[in-house]
Chains A and B, each alone.
Chain A
Amino acid sequence: MNVIKKKINRLFLHSFLIFIGVVWLLPTFGVLITSFRTAADVARTGWWTIFTDPLSIKLTLAGYIKVLTHGNMGRAFINSLIVTIPSTILPILLASLAAMAFAWMKFPLRTALLAGTISLVSVPLQATVIPILTLYNKIGLTGKFYGIWMAHTGYGLPLIIYFLYNFFKEIPHELLDSASIDGASTLQIFSHIILPLSIPALASITIFQFLWVWNDLFIALLFLGGNPNAAPLTVTLSTLVGSRGQGWELLTSAAFISSSIPIIVFFSLQRYFVRGIMAGSIKA
């Protein structure tokens, strides 16, 4: 009797989990199929036709070709790279220097400054953008890539400092002491001991910052929004959605182009990816 009950329970468990899995995958799957269908088919039937009437399905790359050439998505892809790469490298470089000071050097007000920096993680970006935008407009920095690089660097710093500080201070101090006795300078200790030992942490936080900037819409709208030539993928995609008469075969292709890099990173570096997201989740 007990065995039967157990079997029924297992059956429920599997059905529930598989149901959840299907529900979670289905929306993305539908978009993926649609992005390869012809405009005429998409307007006429749903993507599930691939199951209900598989012989009638014609697949094409037309949607992708059209958004890349006419929909500005090609330009936007390049812009996303131009925005994201410096906005990832700069804050991690500066934050690792600051985290080094907080973790291993003695100076007045260290604890207070560290606590102040960490508490800034709770400041929502909304509370900072208006004065920055006003100033950027005055000195002509809106619509410029270096303007958004600096903004992403400033906004990213507190969290990255906090994350790297936590990692750096766990490094056994005997390692640093013996290097110090051997006559290594602070910079040598930083670049030859601290950084190499922190590669897993640096990988996680790099992936987080990269995805945060790549997927960011708010900052891009504010600081680059007025300049269509500088618009990254998220902004261009949202403009495509907003403009009337865009076929779903174009929107779905565009959505996949904009998600391609994050999805590749997710599947190839899953462990660091998940850790990075966890680390960054408290970001405001």
Chain B
Amino acid sequence: MKTRPIIPWLYLFAASVLILFFLVYPTINTLFISFKDSKSIEFIGFKNYLYVFTNDATKLAIRNNLLWMIVFPVITVSLGLLLAVLVDKVRYEKILKSVIFLPMAISFVGAGVVWRFMYAFRPVEVGQIGFLNWIVVTAGGKPLDWLSRGPWINNIALVIIGVWIWTGFCMTVFSAAYKGLSSEILEAGKIDGANEWHLFWKIVVPMLMPTISTVTVTMLVFSLKVFDIIYITTNGLFDTEVLANRMYKELFLYWNLGRASAIATILLVASIAIMSISVFHRSSQVT
């Protein structure tokens, strides 16, 4: 399309100004602030980074983010893939997919409330109002304070909230890709006598690999930046701290701009690393 040379810039103008102001400038500025003191006055070198990697509270946050980044993608991606293949075989596919996708509509804050209620704990004498403890007690066990029992029970309990929210997303993406596979290949596999299990591992999984890696990256990035779920349930207490929540505390509880920026920069670098690995991975597959 032919236009006068000035026209494209007019179309780009407003968007460019806002992108420069809200994304480009502050990202670069955050890098600088991360090398300055708490009030952002003097440069103090790598001290803020040293703090993040040596302080107990932030080390714990890093550990928990790593736990999230391992457990969360594994469960959401494998369960989502399994469900995508299985729902294809039944007539109530549509309604089941809606049910599993529904948590995506509720905000993470709403989901936090929903699961605080699931995990609610009361002493044995007064009777349980949290569903999980009701099951435990009915089965003859002792009620458990799921969200304060560290280090593993509560962290896994929090990851499960994320799984409940995101599995529907994974399933829906995989389902679309699975339906796009040519039925001839699957039929040919069946005629060759491969059972469902073989078909799944030898044909479905390899053919869906590009989709699997994209979805895995999305899940990794989410677990890197997980904030709402933690903020609303434990706020990082009982050893459940994560980096994004810690950064919020450095900012509004301790008013330390330097440390908050150092955490932000670590999230930035990790996020870019994860995404570029996936881009590299994808382009190497194409060629």
Chain B residue nearest to A257 in the complex (CB): B110
Given A130-B264, A218-B228, does the pair A270, B129 have CB atoms closer than 8 Å?
A: no
A157 touches B98 (CB 8 A): no
- In whole Å, how far is A212's beta carbon from the nearest beta carbon of chain B? 10
- In whole Å, how far is B94's beta carbon from the nearest beta carbon of chain A? 9
A234 touches B8 (CB 8 A): no
A95 touches B15 (CB 8 A): yes
- The contact string, 1 if C-beta is below 8 Å from chain B, for chain A 94-120, is 110110110011110010010001001
Given A31-B113, A154-B18, A241-B116, does the pair A126, B1 have CB atoms closer than 8 Å?
A: no
A120 touches B19 (CB 8 A): yes
A94 touches B103 (CB 8 A): no
- The contact string, 1 if C-beta is below 8 Å from chain A, for chain B 119-163, is 010000001111100100000000000000000000000000000
- The contact string, 1 if C-beta is below 8 Å from chain A, for chain B 2-35, is 1101011101101110110111111101100100
Q: Is A83 an interface residue (CB 8 A)?
A: no
Interface residues on A, range: 35 or more
- In whole Å, how far is B238's beta carbon from the nearest beta carbon of chain A? 16
Given A124-B268, A128-B26, A274-B101, does the pair A30, B9 have CB atoms closer than 8 Å?
A: no
B86 touches A131 (CB 8 A): no
CB contacts under 8 Å to A, within B163-205, are 164, 167-169, 172-173
- A interface secondary structure, majority: helix
Given A46-B129, A106-B8, does the pair A127, B110 have CB atoms closer than 8 Å?
A: no
B1 touches A186 (CB 8 A): yes
B102 touches A28 (CB 8 A): yes
A166 to B276, CA, bound (A): 20
Q: Is B67 an interface residue (CB 8 A)?
A: no
Interface size on B, residues (CB 8 A): 91
A105 to B4, CA, bound (A): 10
B264 touches A127 (CB 8 A): yes
Kindly identify which residue among B16, B117, B227 contacts A27, using a CB–CB cutoff of 8 Å: B117
Chain B residues with CB under 8 A of A117: 19
B271 touches A284 (CB 8 A): yes
Chain B residue nearest to A95 in the complex (CB): B15
- In whole Å, how far is A9's beta carbon from the nearest beta carbon of chain B? 8
- In whole Å, how far is A278's beta carbon from the nearest beta carbon of chain B? 6
Q: Is B41 an interface residue (CB 8 A)?
A: no
Q: Is A68 an interface residue (CB 8 A)?
A: no
**A and B contact pairs by CB, cutoff 8 A, 18 listed:** A20-B83, A24-B167, A31-B117, A46-B127, A46-B128, A98-B15, A123-B27, A127-B30, A130-B30, A133-B251, A153-B22, A157-B15, A177-B1, A215-B109, A221-B248, A238-B109, A277-B104, A277-B169
Q: Lowest 3 CB-CB distances: which A-B pairs, in order?
A: A154-B22, A215-B107, A101-B11
What is the interface of chain A, defined by CB distance below 8 A to chain B? 13-14, 16-17, 20-21, 24-28, 30-31, 34, 42-48, 94-95, 97-98, 100-101, 104-107, 110, 113, 117, 120, 122-124, 126-134, 150-151, 153-155, 157-158, 161, 173, 176-177, 180, 186, 189, 211, 214-215, 217-218, 221, 225, 233-234, 237-238, 241-242, 248, 251-252, 254-255, 258-259, 262-263, 265-266, 270, 273-274, 277-278, 281-282, 284
